[in-house]
Structure 1
Amino acid sequence: MGVAIRVAGEGDRGRVVQLLDEAFRDDPVSGWVFPDAAHRRDRHPRLMAVFADIVFAGGRVDITEDGTACALWLSVPADDDHADEEGPVQLREAVDPDNVRVELVGRLTAGIHPAGRAHEYLWMIAVAPEHQGEGLGSALVRSVLDRCDQEGVPAYLEASNERSRALYERLGFGHTGRPLDLPEGPRMWPMWREPRAGSAAGA
């Protein structure tokens, strides 16, 4: 299936935040961070906006030409140890100051992030609910994995639910280390993909 993909610009910010909010509002991790549904509807868009701004500033946001799906990527250098003590605190203060789980999820995911090798980090991928199951997520990820294969760069992500975990396994990601069990909450799976020499990601 041919899916037109381009790099998102600042003018796409609103749509990217909307996609992230719609796709992740009922995700197990979002439900753990914001257990109360009404509170989640209020604060979840703020969290997604902060995530989008971080990647717009320092990474790459890919979006389908029709605006139905997007993927947020960061290029992580080999010497990045993810030991940002202030980042999770600032995130909580910006999004939901009294909610320690906003800070905790940032600290815990940073704690399992692999160090020592440069890699592409798929932070989030979002598909509009009415377009899920159409292969848009796979197309977005493959477009970057093809480049990873050409350049010999591995890729990393944390799957936050069983459906996305299965998708990433089909795309060549394998589990690395132990799963992350959020306190009294859901499981997240750190996944790593080595570049495929001499073959395309979709082959």
Structure 2
Amino acid sequence: MTGTGKVLARAFHDDPMFTFIEPDAERRAAVLPWFFGAAARLGTKYGSLDERPGRAAVIWLLPGHADLGLREMTGSGLVAAPFKLGLSAFRRFVAITTAFERAQRDVIRQPFLYLFILGVDPTEQGRGHGSALITSALSQAGSEGHPCYLETTNEANVPFYERHGFEVASEKTPEGLPRFWTMVRPPD
């Protein structure tokens, strides 16, 4: 999972969420591989992790596992986030993820497949890796009657997800936080 963490760290290095959490580029480059490695462990335990090694990865959380409690945080290693990120960055992380959770509750109430993280190495973007990684899970969710849900802080991602059947459910600009979009893909 070390490779997965590195690929996702490169993919999200300049993402508005992570530049907000850790404004210092060098510090961000140092801590994101750890963060995404822990996120990959979370996906492996409570959902799925699929990847194109060295190029792209996707982490899904299964219906009923979108609320990350102490058990999930401990099992993945994310419980160490205050120490790994530092207190200031951790406070910003909590602020944005709390805003995501509030928006999620406002948008979707039924069980859903959560597109937790999709990232493509910047040198590999535009080559179909992201689409290839999400197509089968979207199809399976649709056939099982589950909607899919995600948040993005990167406006450039919105058209990509729309091409895959997601619709913007809300656009939020909480005071002091980056703007973000919630998106839902209804079941087929």
Distance change >3 Å, CA 105–CA 92, structure 1 → 2: farther
1:16, CA displacement in angstroms?
0.9
1:105 to 2:92 alignment: no
Provide the rounded CA distance (Å) in 2 between the counterparts of 1:120 and 1:189. Answer: 17
Aligned to 2:26: 38
Distance change >3 Å, CA 18–CA 140, structure 1 → 2: same
CA RMSD, 1 decimal = 2.3
The structure with the largest helix share of the pair is 2
Q: What amino acid is the match of 1:44?
A: L
- Secondary structure of 2:23's aligned partner: coil
Distance change >3 Å, CA 81–CA 69, structure 1 → 2: closer
1:75 to 2:62 alignment: yes
Contact persistence 2:147–2:186 (CA under 8 A): yes
Aligned to 1:56: 44
1:153, CA displacement in angstroms?
1.3
Distance change >3 Å, CA 183–CA 25, structure 1 → 2: farther
Aligned to 1:6: none
Q: Percent of counterpart pairs with the same letter?
A: 28
- Secondary structure of 2:181's aligned partner: strand
1:81, CA displacement in angstroms?
8.2
Provide the rounded CA distance (Å) in 1 between the counterparts of 2:175 and 2:24. Answer: 17
Q: What amino acid is the match of 1:47?
A: F
Provide the rounded CA distance (Å) in 2 between the counterparts of 1:96 and 1:33. Answer: 9
Aligned to 1:10: none
1:95 pairs with 84, 88, 96, which one?
84
Contact persistence 1:74–1:121 (CA under 8 A): yes
Provide the rounded CA distance (Å) in 1 between the counterparts of 2:141 and 2:18. Answer: 29
Contact persistence 1:24–1:126 (CA under 8 A): yes
Provide the rounded CA distance (Å) in 1 between the counterparts of 2:131 and 2:66. Answer: 29
- Secondary structure of 1:117's aligned partner: coil
| Uncovered stretches (5+) of structure 1, i.e. residues with no partner | 1-12, 197-203
1:83, CA displacement in angstroms?
7.8
1:57, CA displacement in angstroms?
1.9
Provide the rounded CA distance (Å) in 2 between the counterparts of 1:83 and 1:30. Answer: 19
Contact persistence 1:83–1:110 (CA under 8 A): no
Contact persistence 2:21–2:92 (CA under 8 A): yes
Aligned to 1:188: 180
Q: What amino acid is the match of 2:104?
A: H
Contact persistence 2:141–2:187 (CA under 8 A): yes
CA distances 1:158-182 after superposition (whole Å, capped 9, x unpaired): 1221221110011111122x32325
Aligned to 1:29: 17
Contact persistence 2:5–2:35 (CA under 8 A): no
Q: What amino acid is the match of 2:138?
A: L
| Uncovered stretches (5+) of structure 2, i.e. residues with no partner | none
Aligned to 1:201: none
Provide the rounded CA distance (Å) in 1 between the counterparts of 2:173 and 2:147. Answer: 24
Distance change >3 Å, CA 179–CA 84, structure 1 → 2: farther
Per the normalisation by structure 2, the TM-score is 0.84
Provide the rounded CA distance (Å) in 1 between the counterparts of 2:80 and 2:101. Answer: 13
